[in-house]
Amino acid sequence: MTIEALADLFKALSFAAYAHRAQTRKGSGEPYVNHLIDVARLLAEVAGVDDVDVLRAAVLHDVVEDTDVTADDVERTFGARVRALVDAVTDDNQLPKAERKRLQIEHMRHAADDVRRIKLADHCSNVATLPESWPTARQAEYLDWSERVVAACAGANAALEHEHARRLKAARAALARQA
């Protein structure tokens, strides 16, 4: 990665950290930006992604959905390709939760591999950090749904799929110990 690409990645990370500055992870209370860093790290380290636009989209993947940043803001700051990647992983918060979850699975079946890799890394991060405050049934439901999302991403990156399977197994074992 060039110094310019690295600077672009840090710019996206700084932008996302500021946009999510008041947010923490459910359950752990850790700064939300840690999740964004984890998603980009998984893409680079596990999937071998070195495309700076994909890595920038990874750290920005929740910025439109969870903050007051708009898709136009993302495009103006990071370009059309990053916006398209972020748009492709952004849920429509106007829809009911069940419909958003259903559409996420459906969309991933037909999404570009870069989009599916971001989604895979996101789910790897999420299943490893389920909120302990959630009831067991809600945690189990999330794990089942995550497994369906990842199945819809099949073929995008074998290493991320394997990492998700490993983390899913560990999360289910931890859940079984709680019950």
- pLDDT score, position 133: 87
Q: For residue 119, count other CB atoms closer than 10 A to its CB.
A: 25
Q: Among positive and negative, which fits the CA dihedral 139, 141, 146, 147?
A: positive
Q: What is the residue-wise DSSP string for 120-149?
A: HHHHHHHHHT--TTS-HHHHHHHHHHHHHH
- pLDDT score, position 29: 85
Is the pLDDT confidence value at 179 over 80?
no
Is the pLDDT confidence value at 27 over 80?
no
Please give the structure tokens belonging to residue 164.
């998700």
Task: Tell me if 139 sits within 8 A of 130, measured CB to CB.
Answer: yes
- pLDDT score, position 17: 97
Q: What is the residue-wise DSSP string for 52-118?
A: HHHHHHHHTTTHHHHSS--HHHHHHHH-HHHHHHHHHH---TTS-HHHHHHHHHHHHHHS-HHHHHH
Give pLDDT tens digits for 119-128.
999 999 999 9
Catalytic residue numbers read 65-66
Rounded Cα gap, residues 154 and 97, in angstroms: 23
Is the pLDDT confidence value at 60 over 90?
yes
How would you class 163 by CB atoms within 10 Å of its CB: exposed for 0-12, middle for 13-18, buried for 19 or more?
buried
Mean pLDDT estimate for the chain: 96
Task: Please report which confidence band the pLDDT of residue 132 belongs to, taking 50, 70 and 90 as the band edges.
Answer: confident
Task: Please report which confidence band the pLDDT of residue 1 belongs to, taking 50, 70 and 90 as the band edges.
Answer: confident
Distances (CA, A) of 27 to 31, 102, 133, 134: 11, 24, 6, 8
- In a 13 Å sphere around the CA of 10, the CA atoms on its Cβ side amount to 7
Is the pLDDT confidence value at 37 over 80?
yes
- CA-wise closest residue to 158 among 128, 127, 97, 117: 117
Domain architecture of the chain: domains with CATH = 3-178 (1.10.3210.10)
Q: What is the mean pLDDT of residues 141-168?
A: 98
Task: Please report which confidence band the pLDDT of residue 26 belongs to, taking 50, 70 and 90 as the band edges.
Answer: confident
Greatest Cα-to-Cα distance within the chain, rounded to the nearest angstrom: 50
AA identity, residue 11: K
pTM of the model: 0.96
